[in-house]
A and B are shown apart, each in its own frame.
Chain A
Amino acid sequence: MSTAALIVTLGSIVLGALLALMMIPVLVWLERRIAGLIQDRVGPNRTNILGFRLGGVVQSFADVIKLVFKEEYYPGHIKTGRWLYIIAPAITFSAALLAFMVIPFADTVQFGGESLRIQPLPVDYGVLWYLAIGALGMIGIFFGGWLSHNKYSLLGTQRAGSMGLSYELPLGLAVVSMMLTYNTIDFNEMVRWQSGTVLGVVPAWGILVQPLAFIIFVVAIFAETNRAPFNVVEGESEIISGHMTEFSAMKFALYFMGEYIAMNSASAVVITMFLGGYQLPWLSTEMLNIHFGIVALALMAVLPLFLFVIIRWMRRNNSVRTTVSTDGGRDFETKVLTYALIGMGVVLELILGCFVFFGGGGTGTAIAVILLQIAVFVFKLMCFNIFFIVVRWTLPRFRFDQVQTLGWHYLLPLSLLNIFVTAIVIVGVGL
């Protein structure tokens, strides 16, 4: 194994772990702030370290510290099988975390004759891995819910099980129609397929090639991740917290974090299969490698504008009402962050300027293209995560029988129909 391969492998693993784990506090924060936005209130914005609030994201870290130091509580009626009760949340958590690890963050690169995947687990059967490992998460819910010996937990577990099973079918069938379209089960090949265009104008993203499969897949993935409007598993007004009712401290936190990681993985799979993955529309990796100078110039032009908007938005919002005399260090935070953002912008402009005026050479351009694609991937990931959150705070919860009707009576026949139509079209094109 060469040095380049080692660096790329380690870098991908670290990036995958960071994107999965560090996304949890950010997503929890976004959830609360967007809920606040939609309900016309502010949301958490007081917790700070030396005056630094970062818009309230510090609150999530405070929550983590609270959960770690909270008392471990075991219901007294759990006699046998406490070991299984303890590892059940860990099963759900690790299944969600492992399912994320097959997402490509950038296109495969060639370094010294080796082709290296920018993917934490460099395998070429990503779709199967996601379906297989993602399904393991349900096992943890079953064990935890059953061993709690609690009526609400049992009800939640039954709901989770029957809903998971009925939505696994449309999910798998939508994936099958996408496999037929792309003729591969490799996530990276899927993204490369989407870098082309349809009719010479429209980017060949999965959402435009297979809109029905996209709708089925997104609805099914909302149900699989137990997110609203399908959160009947933990319908607070009906069954307290479902399978999590008897769990406390870090065991509860593992279920909770597992849910957010599952949502993050689901967004990553949706953008990889349907929204072009790490690709910029109309710009395939080969084109980026050849014309990186022009792209860098365009980025140089956009970056100051982007920073200007962010800094103005921050200066306007990171302040207290005029009637409050103390600002609690908000002015200081705004000042420091403004300088930090301007400094970052200047450094990025200098680096991009080097690419524009001197050219990066083969290796330099390749690395720059990887970083650009990772940035595009993270941007799309955040957008889809925000879509998840906005849907949760917009739609009311379905009743359980409505959930089952939607799954069996509408989504399953639709996905079967979609497979037939896809197969006929593919055979027709091949003739």
Chain B
Amino acid sequence: MIEQGIFWILTLFLVGGSLGMITSRHSVFASANFMLAMIALSGIFALLNQSFLFLAQILVAVGAVITLALLVIVSVNIHQRYTPDEPNMRRWLAGVSLLVLPFFVLLINTAGKMPISFKDVPAEFGTVRGVGATLFSDWVLPFELVSILLLVAMLAAIIISRRGGDHDA
């Protein structure tokens, strides 16, 4: 009963934070809402007794992603004249929302047909040892590929930022 109450409160924060993130006018408030959503999500992991996922979520999403996003926000001075011109943005948003509405019905149907009870996971599931062993035995190739992808992205970002050097001579 208490667990369900906590679950609903966390869900409220998760959905509210996500909505706040996309509706906030300013990026700092968007990242504050994003932080709220991520902490609520890690709270749901904690409710499922998944200590490693709970901490990894805070460590990666809040400690790394949001910190980096905020560092960019405080370091970059964005003026209105640098942002792209979007005259009919609200109309576009409404049109695209109508377009994806059938998929939403599909999503609700799928969610309604999900089984209510799940199999119990093995005891090693979600512990630090369990995650590490799985990552470096069954999933080692995708893991390495993802790290190469990130390396390539990082190099590309460095090269692109070095090339257009007319404003920071």
Contacts and interface: CB of A to CB of B under 8 A. Distances in A.
Contacts of B52: 125, 128
A421 B55 CA distance: 28
B26 to A, nearest CB: 7
Contacts of A145: 74
B67 A139 contact: yes
Interface residues of B, number: 23
Interface in B27-82: 28-29, 32, 35, 51-52, 55-56, 58-59, 62-64, 66-68, 70-71, 73-75
Contact of A146 (B59, B67, B73): B73
B128 interface: yes
A87 to B, nearest CB: 9
A84 B73 contact: no
B71 A158 contact: yes
A157 B74 contact: yes
A158 B32 contact: no
A138 B67 contact: yes
B62 A125 contact: no
B70 A135 contact: no
Contacts of B32: 84, 143
Given A146-B28, A147-B28, A132 B59 contact: yes
A162 B71 contact: yes
B70 A161 contact: yes
A135 B62 contact: yes
B131 to A, nearest CB: 12
A143 B35 CA distance: 12
Contacts of A131: 59, 63
A162 B75 CA distance: 10
A198 interface: no
Contact of A123 (B51, B62, B67, B68): B51
Nearest to B64: A135
Nearest to B70: A142
B75 A129 contact: no
A81 B27 CA distance: 12
Chain B binding surface SS class: helix
Contacts of A142: 67, 70-71, 73-74
A143 B66 contact: no
B67 A128 contact: no
Given A139-B70, A165-B67, A132 B58 contact: yes
A132 B75 contact: no
Contacts of B58: 132-133, 136
B55 A125 contact: yes
Interface string B109-151: 0000000000000000000100000000000000000000000
A142 B58 CA distance: 17
A136 B62 contact: yes
Given A125-B52, A146-B28, A135 B74 contact: no
A128 B59 contact: yes
A161 B59 contact: no
Contacts of B63: 131-132, 135-136, 168
A81 B55 CA distance: 29
B55 A128 contact: yes
A139 B66 contact: yes
Interface string A162-178: 10110010000000000
Contacts of A154: 74
A168 B63 CA distance: 10
Interface string A134-156: 01101100110111000000100
Interface in A107-145: 123, 125, 128-129, 131-133, 135-136, 138-139, 142-143, 145
B68 A165 contact: yes
Nearest to B66: A139
Contacts of B26: 80-81
Nearest to A184: B128
A35 B97 CA distance: 63
Contacts of B74: 142, 145-146, 154, 157-158, 161
Contact of B35 (A133, A139, A158, A161): A139
A280 interface: no
Across the A-B interface, give the 10 residue pairs with the lowest CB-CB distance, nearest first: A135-B63, A161-B71, A142-B70, A132-B59, A132-B58, A128-B55, A132-B55, A157-B74, A146-B74, A158-B74
Given A132-B58, A139-B62, 4 more contacts: A131-B59, A132-B62, A138-B67, A168-B63
15 contacts: A84-B28, A84-B32, A128-B59, A132-B55, A135-B62, A136-B58, A136-B63, A139-B67, A143-B32, A145-B74, A146-B73, A154-B74, A158-B75, A162-B71, A165-B67
Interface of B: 26, 28-29, 32, 35, 51-52, 55-56, 58-59, 62-64, 66-68, 70-71, 73-75, 128
